[in-house]
Chains A and B, each alone.
Chain A
Amino acid sequence: MKTKRLMLGNEAVARGLYEAGVRFVSSYPGTPSTEITEYAAKYDEIYAEWAPNEKVALEAAMGAAVGGARAFCAMKHVGLNVAADPLFVASYTGVNAGLLIAVADDPGMHSSQNEQDSRHYARAAKIPMLEPSDSQECLDFVKLAYDLSEKFDIPFILRTSTRIAHSQSLTELGEREEKPILPYEKNPAKYVMIPANARGRHVSLEERLAALREYAETSPVNKIERASDNKIGIITAGVSYVYAKECFGDTASYLKLGLVNPLPERLIREFAASVERVIVIEELDPVIEEQVRAMGIACDGKNLLPVVGEYSSALLAERLLGKKPETVRLDVQMPPRPPVLCPGCPHRGVFYILKKLKLTVSGDIGCYTLGAVAPLASIDTTFCMGASVSSLHGRNIAIGDEKTSVAVIGDSTFVHSGITGLINMVYNGSKSTVLILDNRITGMTGHQQNPCTGLTLKEKPAPELSLERLCAAVGVDEEHIRVVDPNKLDELEKTIKEELDSPCVSVIICRRPCALLKYVAKKKPYSIDENKCRACRACMRIACPAISVSENGKAKIDDALCTGCGLCTQMCRFDAICE
């Protein structure tokens, strides 16, 4: 009997990689894609690594695939922006052994700065894209993707979304099929993309796409499910399929597209002709709908459904069937509960000081983005990975704000794409100050190793990237590369003030490990001496979740939350916070 297990979509993707004989995985973490690579790393048969960013990861995977080993690379939707450069050429060169890129979209922005729709990339880069609806399909589609990638000589994209990546459903496991490394043959006309060769490869790409369009018409992953009548026909894919099915059940027919690029035109025409009303149901942008309309087929879609946010069966029931559920609500103002920096977080002191000094703060992507949330509320801008450094440079050259502005960027994000911004600062004579919040781990995505941590994805020792030496190497004056413990508030404040006054680029490395790391020992929790507490609320300014105000107005510390980091003791002028 075959084993069936409850599996996270991401785990099922990793299982698919294992069963498909994949040998090489390179990725950069990003919610909701991260666990694919973590699960893949558990298989001894798969080499898996964290790359410094998605572009490096995809290029590494391309190298492995052209070399003859089945290769893979995972990223979140915005990671594909970083990897877009190699992506657009990978369709031209094609592969040798199969190449698959998993991209996880985040409708509803559970943990992202935008909700871009990756299907546009599949069309723009001319790469076929599969979209699973549950964990079983995650596994099956991965295996199919490798066979098709080799058959059609083109990389494939597997598109998931948060609810597929992070939902568990029953998945049947198979065996690994070992794939020997394919022979590599030198073929510059195929792999050297100079204009003379690329012209030929573009012609080849269009031929390969035409063959794929033909394949799409009969692919087993594009399925029609018939209702007993022909009133409603729904064209859908991915997680939208399960919402549609939950809402309409057997009262509608479905064309469920597993291959979302290229679309099967004849199949769509045939399906549309067989029903009275066509509804296209897809989260985010009308990617399928616009192509259906371009075929001259009348349909409903974004005229009734939003382009913003996540869908659900309830949303479909309300918008398409006019049904609203019966609910109980309390007539009470409920305070929101936004995410916050954890108790003991080494970033807390940094944002307290930046707010105290009233600085303009160019922010970046990571846990420390939470420094934007009240009451610390000290971040002015957050764009994308690495933008803190490069955008601060532009600001300061343009408006001369060097004395009152800083960039903050995490260790992993700095290595991902902050280094080039720092090189630009040095090269073009900036006087800006950059704070690298070095918490010795990639934090927000759930503790992944990176080049600064001294360990690989498989927990093997690795050379530890020295941020100090790196900054010196790109030309930052060594006197202006400072290392501070961000929990020592006085020293941190003094260092920031000194470097804001410096006539050149400064880097302040705020180094303290993430409080959630296993090797970081929790200290004894602090408590409030009520006789000494004057209820001045000074300790509240650091916004620690462990500190609140009791009914008598005095501070109180939750001993279940307090990590004993001692930051609050530096806030109290009355020595009321004691061990």
Chain B
Amino acid sequence: MDSVKSILITGVGGQGTLLAARILGDAAIRSGYEAKVSEVHGMSQRGGSVVTYVRYGKSVVSPLICEGEADVILSFEVLEAARCLPYLKKGGVVVTSTQEINPMPVISGAAKYPGDLINQMKAAGVRVISADALSIARAAGSIKASNVALIGLGADLFGFSHDVLYESIMSCVPEKAKAVNEAAFKGGLAAASQRHNL
């Protein structure tokens, strides 16, 4: 891999985007790349839109991903995937959970949650891989593992072997959550391969 790979991770504050970014950053280092991971802490973590960047390659200068630069958008929530779409590179892939979380303006009735966003992204010519990461995580034993389920869903797009991803997940999650996260990762991988068979 000569050029820099850019993975934009997005979701709603509190969903576990930071851990997902740390796992991918760890996998990049294990794979022998240089990596930069940019996180956002503080106010936006309180249920707002959050965006985290992971960039890796032979040499990485800037930690930020700009519009038109992301190879993969890894999204925990459909509206946030659509919101970040301008960051996707031509030919890039959106990997998203089908989970929809109403933002406060929708809850309060001031705005509507747009319908059918996944199909609209596909109609715009974007390759979208989607699955219900929350259900995969729930089946694995904890909804907190939806970040790892998503990593499983996008596993073939990062340029790391599954073994490396597995090692990184195990080194980044707490001891007592290892079994649940292993199951969530496998669940994500299975959902991805089912899609390929379709």
Report A's interface with B, CB cutoff 8 A: 6, 8, 31-32, 34-35, 110-111, 134, 162-163, 166-170, 242-243, 245-246, 312-315, 325-330, 332-342, 367, 370, 373-375, 444-446, 537, 540, 543, 545, 547-549, 560
Q: How far is the CB of A105 from chain B (nearest CB, A)?
A: 13
Q: How far is the CB of B40 from chain A (nearest CB, A)?
A: 6
Q: How far is the CB of A306 from chain B (nearest CB, A)?
A: 15
Instruction: Decide if B38 touches A167 in the complex (CB within 8 Å).
Output: yes
Beyond A334-B79, A444-B46, 17 extra complex contacts between A and B, CB < 8 Å: A6-B25, A134-B36, A167-B37, A168-B36, A169-B60, A314-B69, A325-B66, A328-B86, A330-B124, A332-B120, A333-B114, A337-B80, A338-B103, A374-B105, A375-B104, A547-B107, A548-B102
Instruction: Decide if B85 touches A328 in the complex (CB within 8 Å).
Output: yes
Residues of A within 8 A of B19 (CB): none
Asked if B48 is at the interface of the complex by the 8 Å CB criterion, the answer is yes
| CA gap between A405 and B113 in the complex, in Å | 36
* Given known A-B contacts A8-B39, A332-B114, A341 and B12 have beta carbons under 8 A apart: no
Instruction: Decide if A313 touches B46 in the complex (CB within 8 Å).
Output: no
Residues of A within 8 A of B195 (CB): none
Residues of A within 8 A of B48 (CB): 337-340
A and B contact pairs by CB, cutoff 8 A, 5 listed: A110-B42, A246-B62, A325-B68, A337-B47, A337-B103
Asked if B106 is at the interface of the complex by the 8 Å CB criterion, the answer is yes
* Given known A-B contacts A170-B34, A243-B62, A328-B126, A543 and B107 have beta carbons under 8 A apart: yes
Instruction: Decide if B46 touches A110 in the complex (CB within 8 Å).
Output: no
Instruction: Decide if A325 touches B67 in the complex (CB within 8 Å).
Output: yes
| CA gap between A111 and B50 in the complex, in Å | 12
Q: How far is the CB of B16 from chain A (nearest CB, A)?
A: 13
Instruction: Decide if A540 touches B12 in the complex (CB within 8 Å).
Output: no
Interface size on B, residues (CB 8 A): 63
Within 8 Å by CB of B86, from A312, A329, A373, A549, lies A329
| CA gap between A162 and B113 in the complex, in Å | 31
Residues of B within 8 A of A328 (CB): 85-86, 88, 90, 124-126
Instruction: Decide if A6 touches B43 in the complex (CB within 8 Å).
Output: no
* Given known A-B contacts A111-B43, A326-B90, A332-B120, A374 and B110 have beta carbons under 8 A apart: yes
Asked if B121 is at the interface of the complex by the 8 Å CB criterion, the answer is yes
| CA gap between A312 and B39 in the complex, in Å | 15
Asked if B45 is at the interface of the complex by the 8 Å CB criterion, the answer is yes
Residues of B within 8 A of A243 (CB): 62, 64
Instruction: Decide if A242 touches B61 in the complex (CB within 8 Å).
Output: yes
| CA gap between A370 and B49 in the complex, in Å | 15
Residues of A within 8 A of B29 (CB): 6, 170
Q: How far is the CB of B2 from chain A (nearest CB, A)?
A: 14
* Given known A-B contacts A8-B39, A168-B25, A337-B48, A548 and B86 have beta carbons under 8 A apart: no
Closest to B26 in A: A6
Closest to B60 in A: A169
Residues of A within 8 A of B106 (CB): 335, 548
Instruction: Decide if B108 touches A332 in the complex (CB within 8 Å).
Output: no
Within 8 A of A (CB), among B130-165: 134, 143
Q: How far is the CB of B195 from chain A (nearest CB, A)?
A: 21
* Given known A-B contacts A314-B66, A325-B68, A328-B88, A163 and B109 have beta carbons under 8 A apart: no
Closest to A541 in B: B108
Interface string of B77-96 (1 = CB under 8 A from A): 00110110111101000000
Closest to B112 in A: A335
Instruction: Decide if A375 touches B79 in the complex (CB within 8 Å).
Output: no
| CA gap between A134 and B36 in the complex, in Å | 9
| CA gap between A81 and B36 in the complex, in Å | 31
Q: How far is the CB of A30 from chain B (nearest CB, A)?
A: 9
Q: How far is the CB of A378 from chain B (nearest CB, A)?
A: 14
Asked if B111 is at the interface of the complex by the 8 Å CB criterion, the answer is yes
Which 4 pairs across A and B sit closest by C-beta, in order of nearness?
A: A111-B42, A325-B68, A314-B66, A31-B42
Asked if B13 is at the interface of the complex by the 8 Å CB criterion, the answer is yes
Q: How far is the CB of B51 from chain A (nearest CB, A)?
A: 10
Residues of A within 8 A of B44 (CB): 110-111, 339
Residues of A within 8 A of B85 (CB): 327-330
Residues of B within 8 A of A327 (CB): 67-68, 85-88
| CA gap between A7 and B65 in the complex, in Å | 19
Q: How far is the CB of A550 from chain B (nearest CB, A)?
A: 11
Instruction: Decide if B108 touches A110 in the complex (CB within 8 Å).
Output: no
| CA gap between A6 and B108 in the complex, in Å | 41
* Given known A-B contacts A6-B35, A335-B103, A340-B48, A32 and B41 have beta carbons under 8 A apart: yes
| CA gap between A112 and B126 in the complex, in Å | 36
Within 8 Å by CB of B104, from A167, A446, A543, lies A543
Instruction: Decide if B104 touches A340 in the complex (CB within 8 Å).
Output: yes
Q: How far is the CB of A104 from chain B (nearest CB, A)?
A: 11
Interface string of B13-36 (1 = CB under 8 A from A): 110000000100110010000111
Interface string of B55-73 (1 = CB under 8 A from A): 0000011111011110000
Residues of B within 8 A of A339 (CB): 13, 43-48
* Given known A-B contacts A313-B62, A334-B82, A338-B48, A168 and B68 have beta carbons under 8 A apart: no
* Given known A-B contacts A110-B44, A314-B67, A246 and B38 have beta carbons under 8 A apart: no
